[in-house]
């Protein structure tokens, strides 16, 4: 969440940034924060004054008793008791104000970086880079859901039988290709200096709050009601929460972690042709990269993460482009976000396969993730970053569609050592 320091010192900048994100009622929300904070500070000052007066009067009572002035001491004791009662009331008011202020701050999104373009939705995103070659497929080229049926690679109907729509069953060589992609992505992350983590797939409420998934305004997380736990929508949540309530040494930054996990998303409200096949699932696999960094270095880290994800697309021989998201299409928590999309030649459309974001201090403030400045010795907020490297379903869809041949589906060369075969075909074992 935004810091009170930023809101109070750069009020107009914050309001303009929130308006760029098309956050309704930006000025009113910020004015409410400032008014509540003013009340908080006034209440705190009154409490401090009461406590200070109480200490002075308590010391005076002892002196009066020594001087034999019991009646005068008793009068002051009554005044001290009144101050204590007033202090209890002020402490209760202060706690209530603090809770209301935190709740209000949690409803306000992150302020976008100045490089974020203006815009309302995905149509206003800016292509900043393109790469790869779009294949020229024949007119009778099949979409991946038809290829899955032809070669018995993924059974969507069995998934519906077992669980419901959006939970496919991977079969034979496709199951092996899934493992190959996971191993490839993790190996590439390790080569880039990321420490591998195997996190839990469920998190508690504090973890969901720390990274901004909670409060879950859109109802996208699966909730285990009995234990009040949440299935993770991405490994970002448990991995970033490793640093909740931590004070790190500056010399250890940046910290670079990666993790493979299954991801669970309700995808409420997603219907129609754009969700067919692997295009949108409720459960899918993904490798995530996470960085914890100093503010002055975090944008260099962002550039390195973008280069890492771009390298994965290149090694998989997929046509891709990189989009800088406009203010209206960004997530609630990000300060800047880049999406990677690969071209799916049979569907003739771009599919999002990664989002790489810098959250600056927004998540860190919620997490209380801090570091000790080696020069000033002051405790400061870290910057947090993460990115998909990569999400499997749409990568698989693009690989299948772009590499289809009369003999079968060609596997990208970089994956052959991992999966042990060169073609997805009728010999599906």
Task: Indicate the annotated binding residues.
Answer: 234, 265-267, 288, 352-355, 386
> Taking the C-alpha atoms of 65, 70, 75 and 79 in order, what is their torsion angle to the nearest 10 degrees?
30
- Give the dihedral sign, CA 408/410/415/421: positive
Residue list for the binding site for ATP: 265-267, 352-355
Name the β-bridge partners of 259: 197, 288
Alpha-carbon dihedral 38, 40, 41, 47, rounded to 10 degrees? 150
Q: What is the DSSP string of 326-355?
A: PGGGS-SS-SEEEEEEEEETTTTEEEEEEE
The DSSP symbol for 143 reads: P
Separation of alpha carbons 96 and 379, rounded Å: 27
Q: Are 386 and 358 in contact (CB under 8 A)?
A: no
- Binding site for L-serine: which residues? 234, 265, 288, 386
Cα radius of gyration (the chain)? 28
Contact 376, 284 (CB under 8 A): no
Question: Residue 320: CB partners within 8 Å, gap ≥ 6?
Answer: 130, 131, 132, 310, 313, 314, 340, 341, 342, 343, 353
């Amino acid at each position: 969440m935004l810091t009170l320091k930023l809101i109070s010192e750069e009020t107009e900048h914050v309001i303009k940034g929130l308006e760029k994100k098309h956050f309704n009622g930006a000025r009113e929300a910020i004015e409410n924060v400032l008014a509540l904070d003013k009340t908080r500070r006034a209440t705190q000052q009154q409490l401090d004054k009461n406590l200070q007066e109480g200490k002075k009067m308590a010391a005076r009572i002892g002196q009066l008793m020594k001087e034999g002035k019991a009646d005068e001491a008793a009068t002051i004791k009554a005044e001290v008791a009144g101050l204590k009662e007033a202090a209890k009331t002020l402490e209760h008011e202060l706690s209530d104000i603090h809770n209301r202020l935190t709740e209000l701050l949690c409803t306000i999104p992150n302020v976008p970086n100045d490089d974020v373009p203006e815009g309302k939705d995905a149509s206003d995103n800016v292509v900043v880079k393109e790469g790869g070659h779009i294949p020229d497929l024949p007119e009778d080229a099949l979409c991946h859901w038809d290829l899955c049926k032809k070669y018995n690679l993924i059974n969507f109907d069995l998934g519906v039988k077992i669980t419901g729509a959006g939970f496919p069953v991977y079969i034979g060589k496709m199951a092996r290709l899934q493992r190959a992609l996971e191993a490839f992505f993790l190996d590439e992350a390790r080569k880039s200096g990321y420490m591998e983590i195997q996190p839990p797939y469920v998190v508690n409420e504090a973890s969901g709050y720390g990274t901004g998934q909670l409060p879950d305004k859109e109802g996208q997380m699966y909730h285990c009601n009995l234990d009040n736990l949440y299935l993770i929508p991405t490994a970002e949540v448990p991995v970033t929460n490793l640093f909740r309530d931590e004070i790190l040494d500056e010399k250890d930054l940046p910290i670079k972690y990666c993790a493979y996990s299954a991801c669970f998303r309700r995808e409420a409200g997603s219907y129609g042709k754009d969700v067919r096949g692997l295009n949108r699932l409720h459960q899918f696999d993904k490798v995530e990269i996470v960085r914890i960094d100093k503010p002055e270095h975090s944008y260099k880290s962002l550039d390195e993460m973008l280069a890492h994800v771009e390298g994965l697309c290149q090694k998989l021989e997929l046509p891709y482009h990189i989009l800088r998201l406009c203010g209206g299409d960004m997530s609630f928590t990000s300060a800047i976000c880049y999406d990677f999309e690969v071209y799916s030649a049979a569907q003739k459309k771009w599919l999002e396969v990664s989002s790489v974001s810098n959250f600056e201090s927004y998540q860190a403030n919620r997490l209380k993730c801090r570091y000790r400045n080696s020069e000033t010795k002051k405790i400061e907020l870290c910057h947090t970053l993460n990115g998909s490297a990569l999400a499997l379903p749409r990568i698989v869809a693009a690989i299948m569609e772009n590499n289809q041949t009369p003999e079968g589906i060609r596997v990208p060369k970089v994956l052959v050592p991992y999966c042990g075969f060169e073609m997805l075909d009728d010999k599906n074992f």
